[in-house]
């Protein structure tokens, strides 16, 4: 495990050094993303200009949800979303060179395209989360602190699993990147609102199929001490880590199946 | 421990079929099976240097990709140093080296030196062993002047030298080279060949290489396998093939002005295009120098070149004339 991490650190470091040769582009991407993600939140604020609560949640409660899911998504975006470049690698034939090395192909893909310039998103979401926490005046019990940490970690893993599964699907659908983005970026968007405002089928999809309701919504119910309007069992918030682990195991297995279906390119 | 003469690659009835979707109408598509490799058998012994040649699309690269474990075979078996490549790919990767001539495995934006250092960690090579190998390769391939240049700024020849080093730094037992001389100039080609001969001789590395350049094979390999349409049509000494099929060369001459086909002893004009004429001759009948002298006696030469037989030509002749004596 330590050796795997060491290789990851080397490869990601190499990418960072390569990126820094194009400093202006790096800075502009970072700043651009930071600003653009704020527009997401402006949309929520506009809604609250008309109503005082959304599905029984106040602005700062929704902001908490937005911030938590944003940090989780941002981290997965920074560390794992690089799998979306798999179709390009396959088409250019550069995927082959990953498969001739004695290191997991998935590790190489995420390390070699490590994207610290995507930090902008994490930073923006963290600021919103911080403001929400300050305004909500929560009583910080050990349970709440633990649940918050757990929420961010599990959320990051759940989004990462979705990225990986999407990347694996691209071995069959070389033009799958757009479909994949609708699931990942779309999934992130859906987690920014309390899921009980959605219709029943969409709620079930988020809770039981994509698992994204476990990213922030269920843990937030516990942290914000909200009753579950859907009447689901009260242990739901505690399931997030389990959902995250299962999602990652499934995504990893899917990736391995996909690699065996890899067809490479001519010549 | 593997010693010379042991079988390191064993391939039996190897097949690979690709399913291709073909557009047959506005929206309709039909599946089509394309067999890239159709039942290939061969064994390579430790320390051998084998040329794997054939026309474009013959199945060379597909075979190499199955040998490395990148592609999963549709049928047959492969054992490389006793391992099944597609199931033990990551484990096998430590013991083999691969060069794809058409693309690089080096880090594009980093100095060449950094790529070697990264590979040391990826392959977990002991620092002193790495330093020793790297020093040897830098000297053999004369890489000193461009070690600190970003890979994207290297010439094709320099990059290929980097890629060869990258494939060999971890002391692989076998190295696969897919078109290692493609696009290189004459000097770089010669350097690559010298290097490979040296690695094979000094380190006992088994080498399997595909190429379009018969001169690569001539310089490096005693044994050659010719593949076409997914099947091995010849596996044996290069010398045999050369004597039977590789003897014909072509002298291309540019005359001062268009004229009738030149008639000289030992050669035959096969094509005329304005002032340019193609003369086919056998190296066993006449040397190129003699032939040039004979042609010059007939007409004023402006320019000339000698074309060596290519793989396509040899394969064509094998089909036309057959392999049986």
* Same domain membership, residue B233 and residue B138: yes
Q: What are phi and psi of B288, to 5 degrees?
A: -60, -40
Partners of residue A11 in chain B, C-beta under 8 Å? 118, 122
What is the distance in angstroms between the CA of the first residue and the CA of the last residue of chain A?
A: 36
Distance CA A196, CA A203 (A): 7
The DSSP output letter for B27 is S
CA distance B159 to chain A (A): 15
One domain, residues B193 and B139: yes
Q: Identify whether B320 is part of a domain.
A: no
**A-chain residues near B102 (CB < 8 A):** 93, 267
Task: Clarify whether residues B274 and B238 are in a common domain.
Answer: no
Q: What is the CATH number of the domain that holds B162?
A: 3.40.50.300
Tell me, yes or no, whether B180 lies in a domain: yes
Nearest CA in chain A to B86: A260
The Cα B64–Cα B40 span in angstroms is 12
Looking at B243, B277, B298, which one is the last position of a domain? B243
User: Is A2 within 8 Å of chain B by CB?
Assistant: no
* Whole-number pLDDT of residue B203: 93
- Among positive and negative, which fits the CA dihedral B311, B317, B319, B325? negative
How crowded is residue A144: how many other Cβ atoms within 10 Å of its Cβ?
16
Q: Which position has the higher pLDDT, A157 or A38?
A: A157
Of B190, B141, B187, the closest CA to residue B168 belongs to B141
Say what the pLDDT of residue B20 is. 80
Instruction: Write the CB contacts of A206 (distance below 8 Å, at least 6 apart in sequence).
Output: A190, A191, A195, A198, A212, A213, A217
Residue B2 confidence (pLDDT): 60
**Domain span at residue A88?**
2-265
Q: Are A154 and A165 in contact (CB under 8 A)?
A: no
pLDDT at residue number B178: 93
Residues B228 and B284 grouped into a single domain:
no
Residues in chain B within 8 Å Cβ distance of A261? 72
Whether residues B44 and B186 share a domain: the answer is yes
Q: Is residue B149 part of a domain?
A: yes
Q: Identify the pLDDT of residue B3.
A: 65
Query: Residue B201 burial by CB count (10 A; 0-12/13-18/19+): exposed, middle or buried?
Result: exposed
Residue B36 lies in a domain: yes
Which residues on chain B are in Cβ contact (under 8 Å) with A106? Answer: none
* Nearest-by-Cβ selection for B93 from A6, A11, A101: A101
Q: How many domains does chain B have?
A: 2
**Residue B2, domain member (yes or no):** no
Give the C-alpha distances (Å, rounded to integers) separating A117 from A20, A126, A181, B121, B178. 10, 16, 18, 25, 36
Q: What angle do CA B254, B255, B259 make, to 5 degrees?
A: 125
Which of A6, A171, A267 has the most B C-beta neighbours within 10 Å, making it the best mutation to test the interface with B?
A267
The mean pLDDT of A140-163, rounded to a whole number, is 94
Angle between helices A142-169 and A240-260 in degrees, nearest 10: 20
In tens, the pLDDT along A199-251 reads 888 888 888 888 888 999 999 999 998 888 888 888 888 999 999 999 999 99
Contact B110 A267 (CB under 8 A): no
B211: nearest CA in chain A?
A267
| A16-71 tens-digit pLDDT | 888 887 888 888 888 888 888 888 888 888 888 888 888 889 999 999 999 999 99
From first to last of the 325 residues of chain B, give the pLDDT tens digit.
566 678 999 999 999 998 887 777 777 778 888 889 999 999 999 999 999 988 888 889 999 999 999 999 999 999 999 999 999 999 999 999 999 988 899 998 899 999 999 999 999 999 999 999 999 999 999 999 999 999 999 999 999 999 999 999 999 999 999 999 988 998 999 999 999 999 999 999 999 999 888 888 888 998 999 988 899 988 998 888 777 776 778 889 998 888 888 888 888 888 898 889 999 888 788 888 898 888 888 888 889 988 877 666 777 777 677 665 5
Residues B200, B129 share a domain: yes
Closest listed residue to residue B113, CA positions, set B85, B87, B145: B145
Check: CB of residue B170 under 8 Å from CB of residue A101.
no
How far is residue B178's CA from residue B103's CA, in Å, rounded to a whole number? 10
What is residue A59's three-state secondary structure? helix
Burial (CB count <10 Å: 0-12, 13-18, 19+), residue A44? middle
pLDDT of residue A264: 77
Higher pLDDT, A267 or A111: A111
Separation CA B104–CA A12 (nearest Å):
19
Structural domain span for residue B165: 7-243
Nearest to A14 among B103, B105, B118 (CB): B118
Residues listed for chain A: 267
pLDDT of residue A30: 84
Last residue of a domain, one of B228, B243, B258: B243
B222 shares its domain with B287: no
Backbone angles phi, psi at B107, to 5 degrees: -85, 115
Partners of B65 on chain A (C-beta within 8 Å) are: 96, 264
**B40 and B180, same structural domain?**
yes
Domain edge (last residue) among B186, B215, B243: B243
Query: Is there a single domain that holds both residue B179 and residue B289?
Result: no
What is d(CA A72, CA A212) in angstroms, rounded to the nearest whole number? 11
- The CA distance from B138 to the nearest CA of chain A, in Å, is 22
For residue A18, the chain B residues in CB contact (below 8 A) are 107-110
Residue B132: predicted pLDDT: 95
* Same domain? B239 vs B254: no
> Containing H/E element for A184?
helix A177-190
Could you please report the per-residue DSSP string of B185-234? -HHHHHHHHHHHHHHHHHH--EEEEEES-HHHHHHH-SEEEEEETTEEEE
- For residue A155, what are the CA distances in angstroms to A60, A248, B303? 20, 11, 72
Does residue B324 belong to any structural domain of this protein? no
Q: What is the pLDDT of residue B183?
A: 87
- Would residue B322 count as lying in a domain? no
Are B103 and A94 inside 8 Å of each other by CB?
A: yes
**Parallel/antiparallel/unpaired status of strands B206-211 and B174-178:** parallel
* Portion of chain A with pLDDT greater than 90, in percent: 43
pLDDT at position B128, please?
A: 95
Which pLDDT value is given to residue B141?
A: 93
Contact call for A100 and B68, based on CB within 8 A: yes
Q: What is the pLDDT of residue A16?
A: 86
DSSP assignment of B40-108 equals EEEEEETT-EEEEE-STTSSHHHHHHHHHTSS--SEEEEEETTB-TTTSHHHHHTTEEEEETTS--S-T
Q: Cβ(B213)–Cβ(B181) under 8 Å? A: yes
Q: Which residues of B touch A19 (CB under 8 A)?
A: 109
Q: Quick check: ipTM above 0.90?
A: no
Tally of structural domains, chain A: 1
Both B122 and B185 in one domain: the answer is yes
Do A227 and A57 meet the contact criterion of CB atoms below 8 Å apart? no
- pTM for the whole structure: 0.83
Mutation site, B34, B52, B59, B70, interface A, largest A CB count within 10 A: B70
Contacts of A263 in chain B (CB under 8 A): 18, 71
Give the residue from chain A lying closest to B118, CA to CA.
A10
- Mark whether B251 and B214 lie in a shared domain: no
Instruction: Work out the minimum CA distance from A193 to partner chain B, whole angstroms.
Output: 40
Buried b or exposed e, range A109-130, using 16+ CB within 10 angstroms: bbbbbbbbbbbbbbebbbbbbe
């Amino acid at each position: 495990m330590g050796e795997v991490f060491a290789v990851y650190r080397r490869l990601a470091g190499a990418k960072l050094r390569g990126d820094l040769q194009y400093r202006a582009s790096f800075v502009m991407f970072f700043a651009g993303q930071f600003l653009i993600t704020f527009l997401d939140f402006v949309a929520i604020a506009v809604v609250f200009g008309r109503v005082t609560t959304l599905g029984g949640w106040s602005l700062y409660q929704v902001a908490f949800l937005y911030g938590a899911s944003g940090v989780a998504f941002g981290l997965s975006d920074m560390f794992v979303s690089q799998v979306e470049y798999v179709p390009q690698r396959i088409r250019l034939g550069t995927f082959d060179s990953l498969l001739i090395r004695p290191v997991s192909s998935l590790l190489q893909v995420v390390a070699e395209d490590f994207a610290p310039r995507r930090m902008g998103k994490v930073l923006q979401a963290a600021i919103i989360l911080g403001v929400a926490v300050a305004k909500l005046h929560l009583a910080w019990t050990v349970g709440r602190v633990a649940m918050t940490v757990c929420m961010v970690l599990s959320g990051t893993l759940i989004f990462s699993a979705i990225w990986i599964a999407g990347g694996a699907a691209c071995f069959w659908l070389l033009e799958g990147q757009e479909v994949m983005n609708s699931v990942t970026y779309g999934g992130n968007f859906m987690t920014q609102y309390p899921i009980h405002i959605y219709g029943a089928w969409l709620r079930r999809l988020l809770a039981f199929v994509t698992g994204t309701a476990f990213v922030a919504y269920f843990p937030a119910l516990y942290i914000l001490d909200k009753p579950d309007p859907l009447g689901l069992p009260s242990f739901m918030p505690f399931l997030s880590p389990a959902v995250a682990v299962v999602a990652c195991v499934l995504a990893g297995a899917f990736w391995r199946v996909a690699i065996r279906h890899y067809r490479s390119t001519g010549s | 421990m593997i010693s010379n003469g042991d079988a390191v690659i064993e391939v039996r009835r190897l097949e690979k079929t690709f399913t291709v979707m073909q557009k047959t109408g506005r929206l309709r598509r039909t599946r089509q099976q394309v067999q890239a490799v159709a039942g290939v058998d061969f064994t390579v012994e430790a320390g051998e240097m084998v040329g794997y040649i054939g026309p474009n699309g013959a199945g060379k690269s597909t075979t190499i990709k199955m040998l490395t474990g990148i592609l999963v075979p549709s049928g047959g078996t492969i054992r490389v140093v006793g391992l099944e490549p597609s199931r033990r790919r990551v484990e096998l990767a430590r013991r083999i080296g691969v060069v794809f001539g058409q693309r690089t495995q080096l880090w594009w934006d980093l100095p060449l030196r950094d790529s070697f250092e990264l590979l040391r960690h990826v392959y977990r090579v002991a620092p002193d062993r790495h330093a020793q190998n790297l020093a040897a390769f830098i000297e053999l391939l004369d890489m000193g002047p461009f070690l600190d240049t970003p890979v994207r700024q290297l010439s094709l020849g320099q990059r290929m030298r980097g890629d060869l080093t990258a494939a060999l730094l971890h002391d692989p037992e076998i190295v696969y080279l897919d078109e290692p001389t493609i696009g290189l100039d004459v000097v770089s080609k010669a350097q690559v060949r010298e290097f490979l001969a040296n690695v094979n001789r000094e380190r006992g590395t088994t080498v399997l290489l595909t190429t379009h350049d018969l001169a690569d094979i001539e310089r490096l390999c005693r044994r050659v396998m010719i593949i076409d349409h997914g099947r091995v049509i010849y596996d044996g000494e290069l010398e045999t093939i050369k004597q039977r099929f590789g003897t014909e060369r072509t002298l291309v001459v540019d005359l001062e002005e268009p004229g009738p086909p030149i008639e000289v002893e030992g050669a035959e004009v096969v094509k005329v295009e304005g002032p340019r004429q193609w003369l086919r001759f056998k190296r066993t009948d006449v040397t190129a120098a003699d032939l040039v002298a004979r042609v010059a006696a007939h007409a004023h030469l402006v320019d000339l070149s000698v074309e060596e037989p290519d793989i396509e030509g040899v394969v064509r002749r094998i089909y036309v004339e057959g392999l049986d004596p």
